[in-house]
Structure 1
């Protein structure tokens, strides 16, 4: 391995190489994405490890950890979500991904990162576990049909005929009646600025969570109002005027996705918020609503109650030292509240 590739912590001189590698995974303006995601994150700059092929001098792989402040049993810790791992196809199956992860685990604490977490692709999960990560739980996608059209597509993954949609409308009406929750007194409103009340809401609510990523106002501003793509709409959840929760919703045609939902882990509160977002997406003309989360969180436990159907899942892993003071909590499946955001 070391004879063929040199693996090092990337610096600013490697910027164009990383942008080039990421352009093989994602579409869009990779330079703008790099500036925003790698350099401007208010929780810290990304740490990237890059593999250079010795013979050609070409960058053939990389992996990154993006810093995120994480509250663990009410204590702020320095975590990081792993991501943007890519290996050129011609050098795969040589253990390069595992080698990159092993070096990132060995050096991340020097970079101020206590632990790394995330739901990687199945192929990458194997490399992470080989490098020493813990498989903690599963990260699952959930789908909620909102209309007869959405019900048919959720069941059969294709557009229904008019007659098929009419037949599907009967169970949708029943589903809506059976799953409806009381949301009286609650409202949703689009957020144009994140102020002190969001910090106060997070500080109140986080006390009831085991492990949850920080959603401070500075981070929320960066994540939703300064993102280059602006794909997600941030929504404040209020109960009789008081801020009690937060949602980020992404829409594409008739599809909507809850990218984030945060509140205190109170079942009745989560039920009211889910009812609000179902009604909001339906009013916006959407036929399907989906979300993804760690499957043993308080949030996930309410999804089936609201008619969400569990779909595919992938592993959620945490890389942490055995001597860490919070290791038992960090590798406990029920501790984590984790969403796309």
Structure 2
């Protein structure tokens, strides 16, 4: 263990024996029911490398805080680099106001810099956002939540005190949605062109190499990472699809979805060209409609090439910019002095919902 003598807590590197305590902390802090399997999967089984995982301990040696940086290979202007995603900042309620969160963040950031990483990054949550900003992080932009509603009641329930009155409009709105959605029948062929992916293989590596943006920063989507991120998760909530050339030979693109509790999430996708992207977006919308869901959502930056494709299909951008509902902040922290300032432009980051620190998109 190490830490200054005037600090009420010490820290050490976390290992497999700490998964149970990390799960306890996570469930306490976030009101979830995660098991040790989640932390073994996230911290030890990532094909891009093991997490820089740290725990804080009180004077009796009990774990009272946890924090990790999870590695991710990126391409920056086509060149391979390593970055780290901030993950699972947790402090036991009995040990708060001791600067454990900021202290562990500093420790993990320094370790990431020693590994050669320029940046740590995250889609920040509501509870930790201000703490991040006070500790050297910068919010460089936002991703917006696009929505396509098939039924109105869930959306009307978000109207706050006006919700009971607004719910009376549901039958009229649903009738208008049914008229609008008649055109989705034309996209049935796009959905039928998708085939389920049981495991990603090397052909998906070729697609990434051919289709990844040549400028800016994009997380590497090789088949090992795709299997780990979307197929081998403990919860197994995502569905993976391939779009192939006629005859089923060449790979035109892939799509990851999550359909839970009446909502369809566009988790991730990759397209060989814009025609393939348009087909994938139409197929996703048609799939969500065919499943009888309430709505479909996609968290994307305005400069993402899928955004105009979805808007053309009748999706709606948020009317407001309410943080953590309409838009979600993307934050970065320099891990070493050589971090290039050009990366502080949000337009250089190519992101999907699957790039956030969440095993699954639904609650």
What TM-score comes out, normalization by structure 2 length? 0.81
1:312 and 2:326 aligned: yes
Q: Is the 8 A contact 2:187 2:283 kept in 1?
A: no
Alignment partner of 2:349 out of 290, 315, 336: 336
Q: Give per-residue Cα distances to partners, 1:133-164, cap 9 Å, x unaligned.
A: 22111133332102xxx234224447999974
Q: Deviations over 1:26-85 (max 9, x none)?
A: 64452111221111111111111221122x432211111111111111111111211111
RMSD of aligned Cα (Å): 3.0
Q: Which moved more, 1:295-304 or 1:130-139?
A: 295-304
Q: Which moved more, 1:45-54 or 1:226-235?
A: 45-54
Contact 1:119-1:316 within 8 A present in 2 as well: yes
Give 1:260 shift: 1.4
Whole-angstrom distance in 1 between the partners of 2:155 and 2:22: 37
Greater shift, 283-292 or 236-245, is seen at 236-245
> Structure 2 CA distance, aligned partners of 1:162 and 1:319?
43
SS across alignment from 1:285: coil
Q: 1:269, CA displacement in angstroms?
A: 4.1
Map of 2:22 onto structure 1? 18
Matches within 5 A, 1:59-74: 59-74=63-78
Secondary structure, counterpart of 1:123 in structure 2: coil
- Give distance in 2, aligned partners of 1:335 and 1:184: 34
The alignment status of 1:272 with 2:275, answered yes or no, reads no
Contact 1:83 1:120 in 2 (8 A): no
- Give the 3 Å change call, closer, same or farther, for CA 105–255 of structure 1 in structure 2: same
Tell me: CA distance 1:216–1:172, structure 2 relative to 1, closer, same or farther (3 Å): same
Find the counterpart in structure 2 of residue 46 from structure 1.
Answer: 51
Give the TM-score taking structure 1 as reference length. 0.86
Q: What runs of 5+ residues in structure 2 fail to find an aligned partner?
A: 319-324, 355-363
Q: Give the conservation status (yes or no) of the 8 Å contact 2:148–2:297.
A: yes
TM alignment of 1:93-172, pairs within 5 A:
93-111=97-115, 113-146=117-150, 150-157=151-158, 164-172=169-177
The residue that corresponds to 2:257 in the other structure is 249
User: Which sits farther off after the overlay, 159-168 or 211-220?
Assistant: 159-168
Residue 273 and residue 208 in structure 1: after superposition, are their counterparts in 2 closer, same or farther (change >3 A)? farther
1:6 equivalent in alignment to 2:10: yes
Deviation for aligned residue 1:124: 1.4
Question: Structure 2 matches for 1:84-95, cutoff 5 A?
Answer: 84-95=88-99
User: Residue 284 and residue 178 in structure 1: after superposition, are their counterparts in 2 closer, same or farther (change >3 A)?
Assistant: closer
- Once residues 246 and 280 of structure 1 are traced to their aligned partners in structure 2, the CA distance between those partners, rounded to angstroms, is 14
Please state how far the C-alpha of 1:270 moved relative to its aligned partner.
3.1
Task: Return closer, same or farther for 1:322/1:81 CA change in 2, 3 Å cut-off.
Answer: closer
**Cα distance 1:217–1:163, how it changes in 2: closer, same or farther (>3 A)?**
same
**Are the counterparts in 2 of residues 248 and 261 from structure 1 also a CA contact under 8 Å?**
yes
Cα deviation for residue 321 of structure 1 reads 4.7
2:109 and 2:335 in contact (8 A); partners too = no
Q: Which has the higher strand share?
A: 1
1:210 counterpart = 2:211: no
Structure 1: runs of 5 or more not aligned: none
SS at match of 2:282: helix
CA distance in 1, matches of 2:152, 2:13: 48
Q: In the alignment, which residue of structure 1 is the partner of 2:357?
A: none
The residue aligned with 1:234 is 240
CA distance in 2, matches of 1:332, 1:180: 40
Distance 1:291 1:207, change over 3 A: closer
Structure-1 separation of matches of 2:108 and 2:10: 14
| CA 76–174 in structure 1, closer or farther in 2 if over 3 Å, else same | farther
CA 1:230–1:159 in 2, change beyond 3 Å: closer, same or farther? farther
How big is the shift at 1:200? 0.7
